[in-house]
């Protein structure tokens, strides 16, 4: 546990969904932190207010990661940085190309330049499983395929699964950090840029750097009314509004969904583990689930089993089929162990969405689940 009373830790993007949970995790463990966030209207509304759930013990500096003067002000007195400031969302990155590269790539470059004149003890960077593209696969006879792409012609015929170059059916495996990067969206390219820049500058200038590759994160305070928010939050919102879940392709895509509480704890462990410097680590639950499975569980939680999912039978630009995580390295280096089960996490998520709908519409929304809480189950 950190006990220094001075504000020595800066969280860029700390007012966002994941950043605000990290702030709570750190503050509850004795850290004193400062947040730099531009409070973008897309996330925080036109009046750009700090989110109500943000821990008031955190000092907040409003500013853009690309503004070198504001960034240097935020770094004053800081000796550790967690870098989350980014525009997120794979599909929107395919038509907002300049925005993503400006904030994610150029913004990280501005931060690294500032750190050349402001030495720090540790840099922890939030990356994404999106850099893998498709995850690791193997064939029936054991041949491993680290780099796989789907062919549009197959998808047009309803054959969504990746295949080997000779057309053989292949199967997803847990993806380790050693798998070759194969970004399939502009967002993924920008996160890979962040990784490479931070790794290179960290090694060159002696900045101990840890990169955490987050698999799909879900939990309370993920904007359900925002078109760029996570799929699980959207599912819960639709069901509670009496609308069916929309599943793209056939709904059997596999992901490794991780609770935001587990993700936040991983960042703290990365700060506290001497072995974390120089490491790139997957942060996930270590358990794959299909979108069908998650939708079915949320239908049961919300009591809306009558709402059969809308299977679109269509894909989306930038989407991949399967990517699940091998988290053995994070276990070894950080002592990281997922603590929130999918069932408990979905209960918490649905309860939060229910409370948000009731608050905005000032009417109760039926849902027999406990009130949102900080899970440790």
Q: 310-311 and 254-255: which strand pairing?
A: unpaired
Question: Could you give the C-alpha distances from 136 to 29, 186, 299, in angstroms and in order?
Answer: 36, 21, 30
- Please tell me the predicted confidence (pLDDT) of residue 315: 82
Which residue range(s) make up the domain with 119? 1-132+181-214
pLDDT, tens digit, 9 for 90 and up, residues 203-235: 999 999 999 999 999 999 998 655 555 899 999
- The predicted pLDDT at position 376 comes to 46
Q: Is position 11 within any domain?
A: yes
Query: Does the residue 250 lie in any domain?
Result: no
Which of the pair, 372 or 91, is modelled with greater confidence? 91
Which one, of 86, 285, 42, lies nearest residue 189 by Cα? 86
Residue 53 in any domain: the answer is yes
Q: Which two tokens stand for residue 230?
A: 């996570």
Average pLDDT, the chain: 90
User: What's the confidence (pLDDT) of residue 69?
Assistant: 97
Whether residue 190 lies inside any domain: the answer is: yes
For the cut 90, the answer to whether the pLDDT of residue 151 exceeds it is no
Please state the rounded mean pLDDT for residues 260-274: 97
More confident residue, 1 or 110: 110
Report how many domains make up the chain.
1
Least confident of 52-66, 113-127, 136-150: 136-150
**Whole-number pLDDT of residue 256:** 97
Residue 330 has pLDDT above 90, yes or no: yes
**Terminal C-alpha separation, the chain:** 21
For the chain, percent of residues with pLDDT exceeding 90: 73
CB 291 within 8 A of CB 255: yes
Mean pLDDT, to the nearest integer, of 260-267? 98
Banded pLDDT at 316 (limits 50, 70, 90) = confident
Residue (of 230, 209, 211, 228) closest to 220 by Cα position = 230
Arithmetic mean of pLDDT, 241-262:
96
- What global pTM score does this model have? 0.92
> Per-residue pLDDT for 242 more than 60?
yes
Instruction: Examine residue 339 and state whether it is found in any structural domain, yes or no.
Output: no
What pLDDT, in 10s, does the model give residues 58-90?
999 999 999 999 999 999 999 999 999 999 887
Which pLDDT belongs to residue 369? Answer: 46
Instruction: Report yes or no on 51 lying in a domain.
Output: yes
In a domain, 65, yes or no: yes
Tell me, what's the pLDDT at 147?
84
Residue 41 is predicted with a pLDDT of 55
CATH, residue 80: 3.40.50.720
Burial call 40-65: b when 16+ CB within 10 Å, e when fewer: eeebbeeeeebbeebbeebebbebbb
Band of residue 365 on the pLDDT scale cut at 50, 70, 90: low
pLDDT given at position 187: 94
314 — pLDDT class (breaks 50, 70, 90) = confident
Phi (first) and psi of residue 147, to 5 degrees? -135, 110
Is residue 126 assigned to a domain? Answer: yes
Give me the residues paired with residue 223 across strands: none
Q: Estimate the share of the chain in helix, then strand, then coil, as percent rounded to the nearest 5.
A: 35, 15, 45
17 pLDDT exceeds 90?
Answer: yes
DSSP per position, 248-314? STTS--EE--EEHHHHHHHHHHHHH-GGGTT-EEEES-S--EEHHHHHHHHHHHHT-TTS--EE---
Q: What is the pLDDT of residue 225?
A: 59
Give alpha helix (H) positions in the chain: 17-27, 41-44, 68-75, 90-93, 97-100, 107-116, 152-156, 186-205, 231-240, 260-272, 291-302, 328-334, 342-361
Q: Which residues contact 250 (CB under 8 A, 6 or more apart)?
A: 158, 160, 311, 313
Look at the alpha carbons of 190, 193, 195, 201 in this order and tell me if their dihedral is positive or negative.
negative
Can you give the pLDDT at residue 154? 60
Question: For position 2, what pLDDT does the model report?
Answer: 58
Sole residue written with tokens 């996330």: 43
């Amino acid at each position: 546990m950190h006990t220094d009373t001075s504000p020595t830790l800066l969280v860029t993007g700390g007012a966002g969904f994941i950043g605000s949970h990290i702030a709570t995790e750190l503050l509850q463990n004795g850290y004193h932190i400062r947040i730099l966030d531009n409070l973008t209207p897309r996330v925080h509304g036109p009046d750009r207010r700090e989110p109500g759930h943000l821990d008031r013990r955190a000092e907040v500096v409003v500013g853009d990661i690309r503004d070198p003067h504001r960034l240097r002000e935020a770094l004053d007195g800081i000796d550790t940085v967690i870098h989350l400031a980014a525009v997120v969302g794979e599909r929107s990155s395919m038509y907002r190309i300049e925005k993503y590269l400006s904030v994610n790539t150029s913004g990280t470059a501005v931060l690294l330049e500032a750190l050349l004149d402001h030495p720090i003890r540790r840099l922890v960077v939030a990356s994404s499983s999106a850099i893998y593209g498709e995850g690791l696969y193997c064939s029936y006879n054991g041949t491993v395929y680290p780099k796989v792409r789907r062919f549009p012609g197959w998808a047009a015929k309803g054959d969504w699964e990746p295949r080997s170059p000779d057309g053989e059916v292949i199967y997803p495996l847990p993806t380790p950090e050693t798998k070759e990067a194969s970004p399939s969206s502009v967002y993924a390219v920008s996160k890979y840029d962040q990784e490479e820049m931070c790794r290179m500058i960290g090694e060159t200038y002696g900045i101990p750097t840890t990169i955490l590759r987050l698999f799909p994160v879900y939990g309370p305070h993920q904007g359900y009314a925002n078109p760029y928010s996570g799929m699980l939050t959207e599912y819960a919102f639709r069901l509670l509004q009496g609308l069916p879940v929309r599943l793209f392709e056939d709904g059997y895509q596999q992901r490794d969904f991780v609770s935001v509480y587990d993700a936040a704890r991983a960042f703290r462990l990365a700060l506290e583990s001497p072995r974390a410097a120089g490491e790139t680590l997957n942060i996930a639950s270590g358990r794959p689930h299909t979108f069908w499975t998650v939708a079915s569980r949320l239908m049961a939680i919300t009591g809306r089993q009558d709402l059969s999912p809308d299977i679109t039978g269509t894909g989306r630009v930038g989407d991949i089929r399967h990517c699940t995580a091998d988290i053995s390295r994070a276990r070894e280096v950080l002592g990281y162990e997922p603590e929130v089960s999918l069932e408990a996490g979905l209960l918490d998520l649905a309860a939060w969405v229910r409370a948000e709908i009731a608050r905005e519409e000032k009417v109760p929304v039926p849902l027999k689940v406990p009130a949102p809480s900080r899970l440790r189950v």
